[in-house]
Chain A
Amino acid sequence: MPPKKKAAAKPNISAEELLGHYREMLLIRRFEEKAGQLYGMGLIGGFCHLYIGQEAVVVGLEAAAEEGDKRVTSYRDHGHMLACGMDPKGIMAELTGREGGFSKGKGGSMHMFSKEKHFYGGHGIVAAQVPLGAGLAFSDKYKGNDRVTFAYFGDGAANQGQVYETYNMAELWDLPVVFVIENNQYAMGTSVQRSTKSPSLWERGAAYGIPGEEVDGMDVLAVKEAGERAIKHCRSGKGPYILEVKTYRYRGHSMSDPAKYRTREEVQKMRDERDPIEQVREMLLTGKHASEDDLKAIDKEIKGIVNDAAEFSKESPEPALEELWTDIYATEIPQEA
């Protein structure tokens, strides 16, 4: 983790942009807190992996993306969906397994998709989304457009063989894919240091000829800037790019993880000193882009959105039993959005 940077040292950022980042990160944080609460009440079952602490990664990269760019990620996917504009109601209702969810209640926390927002899941097998992301990029290159795909995966996935098979082919075929390693430092309970002697994960791309860089994932503006460099590289036909985004998850791996593999002090220190939302909040206040009252109004608005989503997720009915037998086979190919 790079040392803490001085906030508010970004003169070229507009108030509007900063406020946008603040809103979007706060939406993810509050949404995830609410999801944790609903899980505690038994409304959400099974596995539920929260994104709290990592908000700047997806918000920064989505700020760099353009309409039509694609994204695919793992099971820790709520933040990605919110950041690309999917309706919080549909996400929360999927978490509760209801008809109003993005997958009609049949996917759950780990498996949601949106053709409209070019979000391709939501995948539960560690690293399986990496070749899928390269395949999405392959389809864009084949069609001759200049779209870019973001393939997100964690530091744990970064040791999977299929990642390197994919690096090799992505560079061989100049696929427009940004490999985003969300390095939150723990693969479930195993720290990066305990899983590899080559802890600089982005540098592994060099073996395949793929450029990349390490990014401070707690700083949304740094993420956005790096994202712009990565996209420019991919869109200009130069092939893939790797971003190793150093981030931190405050909660356990999933809801039932007591997180005993790290100290409470380590988590608290990160929250106190590096929190991505607090950093932007400080920039907004010290830069006089917003007042405490302005931010309070945003907080209230976000709380309203999240509460509405929670209400919807409780009120939406369970899927009809007939849904058990639908969507197993397509009768026609779903049209590309």
Chain B
Amino acid sequence: MATEILMPALSPTMEEGTLAKWMVKEGDTVSSGDIMAEIETDKATMEFEAVDEGIVGKILIAEGTEGVKVNDVIAILVEEGEDVPEAGATPAATPTQAATTPAAPAEPASTAAPAAPVADATPDWDADVEVKQTTVREALRDAMAEEMRRDEDVFLMGEEVAEYQGAYKISQGLLDEFGAKRVIDTPITEHGFAGIGVGAAFGGLKPIVEFMTFNFAMQAIDQIINSAAKTLYMSGGQMGASMVFRGPNGAAARVGAQHSQDYAAWYMQIPGLKVCMPYSAADAKGLMKTAIRDPNPVIFLENEILYGKSFDVPVMDDFTIPFGKAKIERAGDDVTIVSFGIGMTYALEAAEKLAEEGINAEVINLRTLRPMDTATILASVRKTNRCVTVEEGWPQGSVGGYISSVIMQEAFDYLDAPVINCTGKDVPMPYAANLEKHALVTAAEVVDACKQVTYR
């Protein structure tokens, strides 16, 4: 039976090419793997191999011919003793594949992203529940310990997490309680141990990977994004990484440019990741427990300066906070201030000062950046008609920039002033104390921004 040999596509972008040279002639016997011709693509000259075996019955395109379209018949293979059919008349020839090649994009309507959720203002715990003053540090440790007691597959790995009891003492006591099998000191190899953590998650475990700080996670970001975040999608839902990457993020104090970056906006951009940035000890505890149980990779951005701060934490057997639920830390009608993580300290301080001047700010603590509770932001902005965002990260491609775009698209008609993004300055972090103070966002800047949008 005759087989048509078609002009092949030999690069991802080739549409036509030059048949540079035939390496066979009519009457030659070829078997699969034999080089039949040299073809010039848009990129290079390629050798074209036979797939089927047979005798070259007829060469239809002479060598040297330019502009031969992909899938044009260039030669016909026949079996021994068989006549050469006319080109295009081979009944069993491979059909022109262009016809079955997936065609035009379909209706955009069916590709719309899932709808946003509605605002949920229920409190994190009931009013009659006892609370205890707890540091963020203790809250994180308690959350990990509770989840490790609950699930044998949860383990903690990272630099100095075990015998040293944590570089920032977040894992204090965990080695004693859970042993070296589940609290694992790693060598200083972020890329490697992040990848091992992801592999362990593929294998069914629930790793908590601690980075001594998120600055060092830049060494590991390929494993976080390409391996942890994308595998569920790339595998059609067959497997993913149920795990937590955690550690301090952003500026500490006087540690210079390489140890002071805020990665909130970076990770927030990635589909497949969930991103938490807690402010209070209750946030830290409730969100950490949710993060460990979540079947997806979670980025948990802590802050060194907040570790020692104390907050009320409910005394409950199992306190969790759902992702995608912001908290209104302070109600008000005049302006909405949106922040997260340590940005909340500036936001709340500014709100106090503004209150003294008769401006009532509503302060929203986002807590999770992906999924982001935009419903709560929008509901507030529709009430106050003004918004200021606060973060320590840089201005270009910031979290606040994203929030501004959401407000523009969803609540443009409600705005009485442009949204202002208060951010860290657009500079690497300086070491000098006075310069560092100016590089960070300040409460005074937030106060000024709120006055601008309220035209005071």
Contacts and interface: CB of A to CB of B under 8 A. Distances in A.
A328 B204 contact: no
B46 A258 contact: yes
Nearest to B193: A169
A42 B71 contact: yes
Given A33-B51, A107-B234, A314-B100, A140 B203 contact: yes
A250 B94 CA distance: 25
Contacts of B133: none
Interface stretch (A98-106, A214-222, A236-244): A98-106
Contacts of B111: 321, 324-325
Interface stretch (A4-12, A14-22, A110-118, A283-291): A110-118
B432 interface: no
Contacts of A125: 222, 226-227
Given A140-B203, A258-B47, A321 B235 contact: no
Nearest to A133: B199
B201 A135 contact: yes
A191 interface: no
Given A132-B195, A256-B44, A322-B110, A334 B101 contact: no
Contacts of B234: 103, 106-107, 111, 113, 121-122
Nearest to A175: B196
Interface in B207-235: 222-223, 226-227, 231-235
B44 A258 contact: yes
B125 to A, nearest CB: 25
Among A130, A135, A137, which residue has the most Cβ atoms of chain B within 10 A?
Answer: A135
Interface string A41-56: 1110111000010000
B233 A327 contact: yes
B203 A334 contact: no
B222 A111 contact: no
Interface residues of A, number: 84
Contacts of A45: 12
Given A256-B43, A327-B236, 14 more contacts: A30-B32, A36-B51, A40-B6, A41-B6, A43-B100, A70-B203, A138-B200, A138-B205, A139-B204, A168-B187, A169-B187, A256-B41, A327-B233, A334-B237
Given A45-B12, A142-B181, A318-B102, A169 B192 contact: yes
B239 A115 contact: yes
Nearest to A123: B227
A107 to B, nearest CB: 4
B10 A40 contact: yes
A42 B8 CA distance: 8
A5 to B, nearest CB: 22
A33 B32 contact: yes
A326 interface: yes
B252 to A, nearest CB: 26
A111 B235 contact: yes
A138 B203 CA distance: 8
B299 to A, nearest CB: 14
B148 to A, nearest CB: 13
Interface in B108-135: 110-111, 113-114
A325 B47 CA distance: 40
A33 B196 CA distance: 35
B25 to A, nearest CB: 18
Interface in A115-162: 115, 120-125, 128, 130-140, 142-143, 161-162
A233 interface: no
Nearest to A258: B44
A97 B101 CA distance: 10
A296 interface: no
A46 B51 contact: no
B77 interface: no
Nearest to A320: B110
B233 to A, nearest CB: 5
A138 B193 CA distance: 11
25 contacts: A40-B10, A40-B70, A41-B94, A42-B97, A42-B98, A43-B97, A102-B235, A132-B227, A140-B203, A162-B192, A162-B195, A165-B193, A168-B187, A256-B12, A256-B44, A258-B44, A318-B102, A328-B233, A329-B232, A329-B295, A330-B232, A331-B295, A333-B242, A334-B240, A336-B204
A195 interface: no
Contacts of B91: none
B240 A330 contact: yes
Contacts of A257: 44
Nearest to A111: B234
Contact of B196 (A131, A252, A271): A131
Query: Which 3 pairs across A and B sit closest by C-beta, in order of nearness?
Result: A135-B199, A131-B195, A139-B203
B238 A334 contact: yes
Contact of B9 (A41, A104, A130, A136): A41
Contact of B46 (A140, A142, A256, A314): A256
A40 B47 CA distance: 12
A172 interface: yes
Contacts of A200: none
B95 to A, nearest CB: 9
A100 B240 CA distance: 20
Nearest to A34: B51
B383 interface: no
Contacts of A255: 10-12
Given A41-B8, A162-B192, A333-B295, A169 B198 contact: no
A59 interface: no
A135 B197 contact: yes
Interface in B1-39: 6, 8-12, 14, 32-33, 35
Nearest to A115: B238
Contacts of A132: 195-196, 198-199, 202, 223, 227
B49 interface: yes
B203 A128 contact: no
Given A135-B198, A136-B200, A113 B192 contact: no
Among A42, A251, A336, which residue has the most Cβ atoms of chain B within 10 A?
Answer: A42
B65 interface: no
A330 B237 contact: yes
B295 A332 contact: yes
Contact of A131 (B97, B199, B272): B199
B361 to A, nearest CB: 33
A173 B384 CA distance: 57
A135 B196 contact: yes
A169 B200 CA distance: 13
B155 interface: yes
A260 interface: yes
Nearest to A260: B44
A135 B201 CA distance: 8
Nearest to A177: B199
B186 A169 contact: yes
Interface string B50-63: 01000000000000
Given A36-B49, A321-B106, A104 B236 contact: yes
